[in-house]
């Protein structure tokens, strides 16, 4: 039995090879003339539909698959060469279906080993689903296509688990494809390989769901240049839908995954927009690099949420814009979380009378959360909130602008009794107004804690406010070390305050 941490390192090597193969396949696809547009320039808006006019209200031109919600239809029965219902042709041993629209009811089972769907449009009936059955050395491609609900949500696409001892030998590939209105847009079970490039996920309850949650799942994945977003209210739930809210909840949900890999490059950034949770990680190892998390509709969003974990999670070089909590960590034991070289930017006021945090940590027993070399530019939210969680907060660059609120702290620590540090940070406070009350702004506020060191930080204050702020406030805190901090003021204020 391979341990989760061993699988983490094995899959890192496999994913590198998988990405190279993925690029080769894309180049091959381009060379055979399916599209002349480079992959990095794909746009969902450029999807070209067939010449027949069709829509949710007019599905007459579409091929009907299934008769009712209880129907189970096999693809292999519909492309039978003697009497095909779905037109297709062979290309180097692979079956190709292109330029078609489908009206799907019930369960549509993809049971053909190697098949390409190119420029198809699927209207999914209430609660309907597409199941992809695993085969050795199988590959199922969906290119320049779209799946959508009409009157109610649909179940989604399920990449079924593979019980083979060799994982990753059955692949599903989605390129420049749009999936909307589903309970789970794509659900990937154990021992699978999935590639998703330049796709759009819109108004799904969960866009990508990894793992079944019973045992650790091994899934090879490559997710590049996708957008996950909420645009208005979701369609009504189908009968028996397990979960529903009026807006999208999860961009990516991961439970018991040996290695969740979300490493983007500068040209293929994944964007998570207006979601309750951009990425939700439950008991999984993960690396999340060069992704963007945005809230443009003034909602209580979380960029990355980590829950019930005892794993290794690296969060590096991402951007968080106007999200209520950039990274939220809760209810975990023995977790190592490295949050490095990220940008946390607040361009608008998130919510009236509410304060989010760049990083929010609570109930992280015997864990290490390392917050290093990040850039915070805020005017309302705090950078770090730690409730009973050991942390290292070092070498961060922090700027607060237009601050005019009560109870805001750059770092707020409560009930931490393991050695933690706030060291070598640059903290610049600008333009906070006359309504900042007594001790409302404490750059660093430590409450009921011990073994905290605050060393070698630089504080700059530029304010109209006098005598109403503390640089460092310690309440009920013992065994602390404060040393070699540099202060630059253009106002009067308390440098150091202690209450016991």
Whether 196 and 324 map to the same domain: the answer is no
Q: What is the number of other CB atoms lying within 10 angstroms of the CB of residue 361?
A: 27
- What secondary structure does DSSP assign to 212-248, as a single string? -SSS-B-EEEEEES-EEE--SPPPPPPTT-S---SS-
**Confidence band for 493, pLDDT divided at 50, 70 and 90:** low
Q: Is the pLDDT of residue 411 over 80?
A: yes
Q: Is the pLDDT of residue 219 over 80?
A: yes
120-125: average pLDDT: 98
Given a contact cutoff of 8 angstroms between Cβ atoms, the answer to whether 397 and 457 are in contact is: no
Is there a domain that residue 446 lies in?
yes
**Strand pairing report for 94-104 and 114-124:** parallel
Whether 336 and 254 map to the same domain: the answer is no
Whether 255 and 305 map to the same domain: the answer is no
Question: SS3 for 81?
Answer: coil
Whether 222 and 308 map to the same domain: the answer is no
**Confidence band for 344, pLDDT divided at 50, 70 and 90:** very high
SS (H, E, C) 360-412: EEEEEECCEEEEECCEEEECCCEEEEEECCCEEEECCEEEECCCCCCCEEEEE
- The span from the CA of 338 to the CA of 317, in Å, is 11
CA dihedral (234, 230, 242, 328) positive or negative = negative
Count: domains in the chain: 2
Q: Which two tokens stand for residue 141?
A: 């491609």
Given a contact cutoff of 8 angstroms between Cβ atoms, the answer to whether 184 and 204 are in contact is: yes
CA dihedral (203, 208, 212, 215) positive or negative = negative
- The span from the CA of 314 to the CA of 368, in Å, is 12
Is there a domain that residue 270 lies in?
no
**Strand pairing report for 94-104 and 89-91:** antiparallel
Phi, psi of 391 (to 5 degrees): -150, 160
pLDDT of residue 300: 79
**Shortest CA distance to 29 belongs to which of 17, 45, 42, 16?**
42
Domain end residue (candidates: 242, 259, 276):
259
Is there a domain that residue 286 lies in?
no
Is there a domain that residue 336 lies in?
yes
pLDDT of residue 469: 60
10-25: average pLDDT: 47
Q: Is the pLDDT of residue 354 over 60?
A: no
Whether 221 and 365 map to the same domain: the answer is no
Q: Is the pLDDT of residue 155 over 70?
A: yes
Is there a domain that residue 56 lies in?
yes
Whether 94 and 197 map to the same domain: the answer is yes
**Shortest CA distance to 227 belongs to which of 257, 254, 204, 194?**
204
220-224: average pLDDT: 93
Is there a domain that residue 117 lies in?
yes
Whether 172 and 309 map to the same domain: the answer is no
Whether 468 and 327 map to the same domain: the answer is yes
pLDDT of residue 432: 56
Q: Which two tokens stand for residue 40?
A: 């990095």
Domain span including residue 121: 1-231+250-259
Whether 208 and 61 map to the same domain: the answer is yes
Rg of the chain over Cα atoms, rounded to whole angstroms, equals 26
Domain end residue (candidates: 207, 240, 259):
259
314-335: average pLDDT: 92
Whether 399 and 488 map to the same domain: the answer is yes
β-bridge mates for residue 412, sequence order: 385, 445
β-bridge mates for residue 263, sequence order: 289
Is there a domain that residue 279 lies in?
no
pLDDT of residue 401: 72
Q: Which two tokens stand for residue 279?
A: 């990425």
Query: 398-436 burial, b for 16+ CB within 10 Å, e for fewer?
Result: bbbeebebeebbbbbbbebebebbbbbbebbbeebeeeb
Q: Is the pLDDT of residue 333 over 90?
A: no
Whether 141 and 223 map to the same domain: the answer is yes
Between residues 201 and 11, which one has the greater pLDDT?
201
Is there a domain that residue 288 lies in?
no
- The span from the CA of 464 to the CA of 372, in Å, is 31
pLDDT, the chain, mean? 83
Whether 191 and 113 map to the same domain: the answer is yes
Which residue pairs from 72-80 have beta carbons closer than 8 angstroms and sit at least 24 positions apart in sequence?
Answer: 72/106, 72/107, 72/109, 73/106, 73/107, 73/108, 73/109, 74/109, 74/111, 75/108, 75/109, 75/110, 75/111, 75/112, 75/115, 76/111, 76/112, 79/112
């Amino acid at each position: 039995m391979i341990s989760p941490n061993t699988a983490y390192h094995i899959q890192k090597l496999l994913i590198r090879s998988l990405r190279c193969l993925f690029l080769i396949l894309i180049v091959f696809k381009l060379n055979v003339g399916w599209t002349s547009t480079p992959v990095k320039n794909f746009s969902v808006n450029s999807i070209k539909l067939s010449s027949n006019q069709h829509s949710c209200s007019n599905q007459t031109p579409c091929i009907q698959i299934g008769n009712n919600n209880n129907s189970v239809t096999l693809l292999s029965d519909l492309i039978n060469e003697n009497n095909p219902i779905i037109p297709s042709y062979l290309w180097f041993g692979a079956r190709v279906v292109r330029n078609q629209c489908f009206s799907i009811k019930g369960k549509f089972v993809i049971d053909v080993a190697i098949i390409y769907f190119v420029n198809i449009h699927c209207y999914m009936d209430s609660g309907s689903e597409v199941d992809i059955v695993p085969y050795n050395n199988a590959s199922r491609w969906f290119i320049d296509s779209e799946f959508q609900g009409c009157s109610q949500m649909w179940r989604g696409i399920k990449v079924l688990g593979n019980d083979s001892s060799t994982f990753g030998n059955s692949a599903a590939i989605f390129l420049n494809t749009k999936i909307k209105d589903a309970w789970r847009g794509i659900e990937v079970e154990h021992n699978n390989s999935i590639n998703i490039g330049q796709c759009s996920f819109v108004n799904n309850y969960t866009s990508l769901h990894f793992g079944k949650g019973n045992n650790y799942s091994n899934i090879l994945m490559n997710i590049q240049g996708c957008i996950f977003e909420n645009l208005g209210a979701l369609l009504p739930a189908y009968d028996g839908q397990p979960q529903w809210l009026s807006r999208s909840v999860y961009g990516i949900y991961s439970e018991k995954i040996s290695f969740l890999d979300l490493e983007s490059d500068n040209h293929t950034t994944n964007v998570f927009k207006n979601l309750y949770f951009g990425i939700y990680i439950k008991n999984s190892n993960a690396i999340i690099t060069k992704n963007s998390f945005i809230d443009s509709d003034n909602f209580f969003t979380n960029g990355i949420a980590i829950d019930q974990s005892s794993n290794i999670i690296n969060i590096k070089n991402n951007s968080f814009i106007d999200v209520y909590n950039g990274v939220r960590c809760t209810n975990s034991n023995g977790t190592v979380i490295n949050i490095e070289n990220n940008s946390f930017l607040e361009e608008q006021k998130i919510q009236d009378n509410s304060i989010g945090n760049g990083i929010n940590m609570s109930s992280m027993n015997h864990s290490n959360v390392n917050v290093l070399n990040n850039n915070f530019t805020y005017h309302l939210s705090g950078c770090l909130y730690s409730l009973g969680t050991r942390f290292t907060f070092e070498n961060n660059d922090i700027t607060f602008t237009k601050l005019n609120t009560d109870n805001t702290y750059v770092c707020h620590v409560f009930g931490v009794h393991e050695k933690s540090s706030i060291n070598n940070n640059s903290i610049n406070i600008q333009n906070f107004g006359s309504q900042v009350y007594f001790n409302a702004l404490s750059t660093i506020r430590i409450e009921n804690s011990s073994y905290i060191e605050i060393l070698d930080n630089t504080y700059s204050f530029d304010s109209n406010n006098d005598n109403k702020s503390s640089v460092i406030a310690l309440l009920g805190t013992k065994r602390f070390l404060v040393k070699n901090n540099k202060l630059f003021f253009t106002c009067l204020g308390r440098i150091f305050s202690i209450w016991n």
